[in-house]
Amino acid sequence: MRSHLLNDATAESYRRSVTEGVERVAAKLASTRSPFTGVTPADLGPVIDAVDLDRPLGDSSAALDELESVYLRDAVYFHHPRYLGHLNCPVVIPAVLGEAVLSAVNSSLDTWDQSAGGTLIERKLIDWTTGRIGLGPAADGVFTSGGTQSNLQALLLAREEAKTDDLSRLRIFSSECSHFSVQKSATLLGLGHDAVVSIPVDRNKRMQSVVLAAELAACRAEGLVPMAIVATAGTTDFGSIDPLPEIAALVDEYGAWMHVDAAYGCGLLASPTRRHLLEGIERADSVTVDFHKSFFQPVSSSAVLVRDGATLRHATYHADYLNPRRTVAEQIPNQVDKSLQTTRRFDALKLWMTLRVMGADGVGQLFDEVCDLAAEGFALLAADPRYDVVVEPQLSTLVYRYIPEAVTSPEDIDRANLHARKALFASGEAVVAGTKVDGRQYLKFTLLNPETTVADIAAVLDLIAGHAEQYLGETLVHA
Ligand SMILES: *Cc1c(COP(=O)(O)O)cnc(C)c1O
């Protein structure tokens, strides 16, 4: 069994196995004709059930053969131009190369003595990111598993900086379109169930700063503590960016912690043409970025950045076996002192390889392309009488719904749109997402693939209209 351990003696087998795996995936990517096969859990369940984990196949070729039917054949492929569903991106090759290297070397970024250069590479990328944001000389941060963890850590720091023992008095302000991880974090941080004050959005799905101002005044009048204001720079549904300068001004007035959730919008940091959309982000106390959304990185790659690196001490705990107190005095760089995780992937290497090969402009141009595509898609939808489109996109999402020509009930329209989404998924021809707007069922394109064309969008809109019309036709016949 030692032949399966990766070391000097098995280098040749490592090379062969990984090459074989890479070749299969490359062949798969080349032969994929649709983003999905439409397989159902009922179809695939028995295939996975039939695998006996106590009877190993013994070699990687056999395991790869098996992988074809249990995974590769029916996976959802984000590189396909008609995958328009969630915030998943096709990945860039330098990042995938980084992924292969980091898992083989298997550094763990908790302490210097488990990562050495990896720690310094991560630190340099944190500095690069805080530099792009403009957080100033004392800024710092750490890579995390995703935006959810980044938001949790940012709000932990905000809670500690609020300096009150009465957690029931703390309030977090975020827009009604903010990510649900804000609410989840509040619960995990022991705040009350009414801790998150939801601020309504305007027509363009951006936080109404006038209402925020009123809510902050009410909070103060009631003797409550405004712990944090969470501005979203790229809402998950609409890609809308809250008015950051106006929010920053209110933060100054009320002394709260300003967190900017740029999980989605962070791609603008590298954009050669759209960086100005993030104006005001430099005034944040903390920022969430998801490189695995708009930097074309494989999952996972995310970071939380802070203006004042000293605040990261709220996540610092010492263990004699890992990062004893003396290591601080000895200036040994242990990233675990800044992280909620202990053992931690060297995800930073993927971004490193990306920047070293393509440069920031290269990545930013890809994000620009999908934002341009969204603008064209908006024009298409706005001119199409079959569809109602919600807002002109600032980033790369389009939220819309099919509206039948004949008069039907609002419930029928909801059901027709939901049916269209499900039917499309079952056909595998394209994948789109769904959401609700004012209680009604809508559909959503999240455009993150520069290979997607306006013609793809038009073709998918025709498919959706076809499914919706068919549904309504059948419903009317049976009614
Ligand atoms: C995706 C997203 C998150 C959560 O990030 P994960 O990486 O999925 O944990 C948080 N905030 C916003 C605005 C997001 O779009």
251 falls within a domain:
yes
Residue 147, pLDDT above cutoff 60: yes
Mean pLDDT, residues 56-73: 96
| 319 and 214 co-located in one domain | yes
| Long-range contact set of residues 475-479: C-beta below 8 Å, sequence gap at least 24 | 475/412, 475/415, 475/416
How close are the terminal C-alpha atoms of the chain, in Å? 66
pLDDT of residue 474: 87
Among 301, 327, 357, where does a domain finish?
Answer: 357
| 348 and 222 co-located in one domain | yes
53 falls within a domain:
yes
Model confidence pLDDT, tens digit, residues 30-40: 999 999 999 99
Model confidence pLDDT, tens digit, residues 291-350: 999 999 999 999 999 999 999 999 999 998 899 999 988 999 999 999 999 999 999 999
| 314 and 397 co-located in one domain | no
Residue 404, pLDDT above cutoff 70: yes
Model confidence pLDDT, tens digit, residues 374-391: 999 999 999 999 999 999
Total domains in the chain come to 3
Please tell me the distance between residue 206's alpha carbon and the centre of ligand 1 in angstroms: 17
What does the mean pLDDT of the chain come to? 96
Indicate the top mutation candidate among 236, 242, 341 to test ligand 1's pocket, ranked by most ligand atoms within 8 A of CB: 236
Among 340, 357, 374, where does a domain finish?
Answer: 357
| 125 and 64 co-located in one domain | no
94 falls within a domain:
no
244 falls within a domain:
yes
CA 284 to chain centre: 20
Least confident of 125-129, 177-181, 472-476: 472-476
| 232 and 136 co-located in one domain | yes
Domain of 451, CATH number, reads 3.90.1150.170
| SS3 call for 393 | coil
How many C-beta atoms lie closer than 10 Å to residue 462's C-beta?
Answer: 12
User: Which numbered atom of ligand 1 lies nearest the CA of 262?
Assistant: 13
Name the strands in the sheet holding 387-389, side by side, starting at the edge strand that comes first in the sequence.
83-84, 431-437, 440-446, 397-402, 387-389
Domain of 128, CATH number, reads 3.40.640.10
Residue 479, pLDDT above cutoff 80: no
Top-confidence residue, 463 or 476: 463
Rounded Cα–Cα distance for residues 311 and 306 (Å) = 8
| 156 and 266 co-located in one domain | yes
Domain of 27, CATH number, reads 1.20.1650
Please tell me the distance between residue 75's alpha carbon and the centre of ligand 1 in angstroms: 22
pLDDT of residue 477: 67
Q: Which residues contact 92 (CB under 8 A, 6 or more apart)?
A: 296, 297, 354, 358, 363, 366
pLDDT of residue 478: 64
Please tell me the distance between residue 148's alpha carbon and the centre of ligand 1 in angstroms: 6
Is the separation of the CB atoms in 172 and 327 below 8 Å? no
Please tell me the distance between residue 152's alpha carbon and the centre of ligand 1 in angstroms: 11
95 falls within a domain:
no
User: Which numbered atom of ligand 1 lies nearest the CA of 149?
Assistant: 9
Q: Which residues contact 69 (CB under 8 A, 6 or more apart)?
A: 47
| 371 and 350 co-located in one domain | no
Please tell me the distance between residue 247's alpha carbon and the centre of ligand 1 in angstroms: 21
pTM of the model: 0.97
Mean pLDDT, residues 429-435: 98
Among 288, 322, 357, where does a domain finish?
Answer: 357
321 falls within a domain:
yes
283 falls within a domain:
yes
Q: In which band, very low, low, confident or very high, does the pLDDT at 464 lie, cut at 50, 70 and 90?
A: very high
- In this structure, the residues whose C-beta lies within 6 A of any atom of ligand 1 are 87, 146-148, 151, 179, 181, 232, 236, 261, 263-264, 290, 302
Please tell me the distance between residue 292's alpha carbon and the centre of ligand 1 in angstroms: 10
Model confidence pLDDT, tens digit, residues 89-111: 999 999 999 999 999 999 999 99
| 143 and 258 co-located in one domain | yes
Helix intervals (H) in 332-453:
348-357, 359-382, 410-427
| 54 and 137 co-located in one domain | no
Range of the domain at 23: 2-77
User: Which numbered atom of ligand 1 lies nearest the CA of 148?
Assistant: 9
pLDDT of residue 407: 79
| 416 and 339 co-located in one domain | no
Is the separation of the CB atoms in 444 and 435 below 8 Å? yes
Q: Side-chain half-sphere of 415: how many Cα atoms within 13 Å?
A: 12
pLDDT of residue 245: 98
134 falls within a domain:
yes
Mean pLDDT, residues 244-267: 97
| 280 and 380 co-located in one domain | no
Q: Which residues contact 303 (CB under 8 A, 6 or more apart)?
A: 125, 126, 129, 141, 142, 143, 144, 150, 288, 289, 291
Q: In which band, very low, low, confident or very high, does the pLDDT at 231 lie, cut at 50, 70 and 90?
A: very high
Give the closest residue (by CA) to ligand 1 atom 3: 147
| 429 and 282 co-located in one domain | no
User: Which numbered atom of ligand 1 lies nearest the CA of 178?
Assistant: 13
